[in-house]
Amino acid sequence: MFSDYQHQYADALIDMAAMIKAGTLRSHVSVYKGIETTPQAFSDMMAGKNLGKCMVELLG
């Protein structure tokens, strides 16, 4: 729960701001290409195989 770490919030903001400024804060994204990959993307997401965002790119 977020409230369990509320006492660390101010320090976390300082640390994260420094990481953003330095360009070292990164986000993980899993991209599946094509509508036909949607079932696999959903299955992987529900099984916890992805870190961060799970996206399906629709090709046109």
Apex 12 CA angle, 11 and 13, nearest 5: 90
| Helical ranges in the chain per DSSP H | 9-22, 38-46
Domain extent for 39: 2-57
Q: How many separate domains does the chain show?
A: 1
Q: What is the pTM of this model?
A: 0.59
pLDDT tens for the chain, 60 residues: list them. Answer: 778 999 999 999 999 999 999 999 888 899 999 999 999 999 999 999 988 899 999 987
Cα pseudo-dihedral 31, 33, 38, 40, rounded to 10:
-70
